[in-house]
Amino acid sequence: MPNDIPILPGLSPVDGLDIHARFDGGAMSSNGGALLLREAGRARKLSALLASSIADARNPARVVHSYVSMIQARMVAIACGHEDCDDLDTLRHDPVLKMACDKRPDADIGLASQPTLSRLENAVNWRMLARMGLRMIDAFCDSYTRVPNEITLDIDDTSDLVHGDQQLCLFNTHAGDYCFQPILVFEAGTGKPVAAILRPGKRPSGAEAASVLRHVIRRIRSNWPRVKILLRGDGHYGTPEVMNVLEDMDCSYVLGLPTNARLKAMAAPWAEDAATRRALHDKDSVRRFYQARYAARSWRRERRIVARVEANAAWERIPASSSPTLPAAGRSIFTTSSTAPGGEWRT
């Protein structure tokens, strides 16, 4: 193998110098993928976008590390698996991480150290964070070559385990540990991230989820005034506050619904019918779908719900006492903004 070969066509030069791979020792790194992240970052200019949201009160004459370079270093390090800010005390001299931040690998001054990065993180207030979030939504919209007619947004939260006594961390029974529980919003068709909100390790309330969606949708509409938006979410997003906001903002939705005694009673005949059909025809599974009009006491109006019931071998193994109204069948119930008529079954 030659001792000097290009890594990959298309890598941007660093300080006017082309990037090559050498196999003769010297400064070495295991973070080669950081150079690809650098190219992706240069295309979207995410570091500069985020840095523009932070007021820099430092004396320009004494600044060594710009906010852009510090944010770039932090993002690349996290993406390479170095989540702890302390890691940068050593990795600040890593040759590839230097190049990922547009520094020469043999530069005397390395990347920002952990204390410098910590000062940056503590200099950010909630207003700056809000501006970052809104500008990331702008970046999502700018990533399209043309304005779409409609988009589908998926909203969910996930457990992010913490290590140590960090701010916002709470014990979460479902996760079985202390964690954050950020809210994430993605565009379903492309998988592109739209928004990410770091928050305490507990399930978001309906009012909190509605506030997040109000800001996200308002920002998208400021870029695309005529786009149609469909939102999809799990049962704990099927709250009156969320549905009211989406209807007021002229958005469609498909949201899961937590079950209750009334919904179980509505589904019970169809669950029993599915179980009977499966037993009579010796099928692996039988699914039935039902749509109806329903209004909980906390809802401001009646809405359409769609129920799916399924009978299969797994449900037959569940003791009847654990689900007395749904013999040998499981069910999922959703509410939707669609105005289709209710009351019809389809197999």
CA distance 276 to 270: 10
Cα–Cα distance list, 166 to 160, 171, 180 (Å): 12, 12, 9
Last residue of a domain, one of 68, 98, 122: 122
CA distance 20 to 207: 53
Per-residue pLDDT, averaged over 27-50, amounts to 81
Q: Same structural domain for residues 308 and 234?
A: no
Residue 320 has pLDDT above 80, yes or no: no
Same domain, 173 and 238: yes
Q: Give the model confidence (pLDDT) of 283-309 as tens digits.
A: 888 888 888 888 889 999 999 988 888
**Same structural domain for residues 140 and 103?**
no
75-78 contact pairs (CB < 8 A, 24+) = 75/37, 75/41, 75/46, 75/47, 76/31, 76/34, 76/37, 76/38, 76/41, 76/100, 76/101
Query: Do 234 and 310 sit in the same domain of this protein?
Result: no
8 pLDDT higher than 90: no
Q: Are 185 and 114 part of one and the same domain?
A: no
In this predicted structure, which of 108-112, 208-212, 286-290, 293-297 has the lowest mean pLDDT?
286-290
Residue 84 has pLDDT above 60, yes or no: yes
* Same domain? 202 vs 113: no
Query: With bands split at pLDDT 50, 70 and 90, how would you rate the model's confidence at 314?
Result: low
Residues 174-205 have pLDDT tens digits of 888 999 999 999 999 999 999 999 999 999 99
Identify the bridge partners of residue 200 per DSSP, sorted by sequence position: 180
User: Is 97 in the same domain as 160?
Assistant: no
pTM above 0.85, yes or no: no
Most confident of 141-150, 259-268, 273-282: 141-150
What tokens were used for 40? 């992706």
**Residue 200 carries which side chain, given as an amino acid letter?**
P
**Could you tell me the CATH number of the domain that includes residue 234?**
3.30.420
Q: How far apart are CA 293 and CA 62, in angstroms?
A: 66
Strand order in the sheet with 285-294: 193-197, 183-187, 150-157, 228-233, 252-256, 330-336, 303-312, 285-294, 345-346
The mean pLDDT value for 307-315 works out to: 75
DSSP string computed for 41-110: HHHHTHHHHHHTTS---S-GGG--S-HHHHHHHHHHHHHTT--SGGGHHHHTT-HHHHHHTT--TT-SS-
C-alpha torsion sign, points 102, 107, 112, 114: positive
Q: Tell me which amino acid residue 91 is.
A: L
Last residue of a domain, one of 204, 235, 253: 253
Percent with pLDDT over 70 in the chain: 86
- The yes-or-no verdict on residue 347 having pLDDT over 60 is no
- The answer to whether residue 124 scores a pLDDT higher than 80 is yes
Q: Are residues 271 and 330 in the same domain?
A: yes
Domain count, the chain: 3
Mean pLDDT estimate for the chain: 84
Residues 84 and 137 in one domain: no
Integer Cα distance of 100 and 78 in angstroms:
13
| Greatest mean pLDDT range, 224-233, 324-333, 334-343 | 224-233
Is residue 245 domain-shared with residue 300, that is, in the same domain? Answer: no
Of 253, 281, 310, the one marking the end of a domain is 253
Output the pLDDT for position 105. Answer: 83
Tell me which of 122-131, 185-194, 215-224 is least confident.
122-131
Nearest-5° angle of CA 238, CA 241, CA 247? 85
Question: Which residues lie below 8 Å from residue 227, measured CB to CB, with a gap of 6+?
Answer: 147, 148, 149, 150, 151, 220, 221
- On whether both 18 and 78 belong to a single domain, the answer is yes
Q: Give the pairing type, strands 228-233 and 252-256.
A: parallel
What range defines the domain where residue 144 resides? 130-253
Q: What is the largest CA-CA distance in the chain?
A: 83
DSSP tally for the chain: helices H, then strands E: 11, 14
Write the DSSP string, 276-341: HHHHHHT-SEEEEEEEEEE--TT-SS-EEEEEEEEEEHHHHTS-GGGSTTSTT-EEEEEEES----
Q: Are residues 117 and 13 in the same domain?
A: yes
How many residues make up the chain in this entry? 347
Task: Give the residues across from 305 on adjacent strands.
Answer: 292, 335
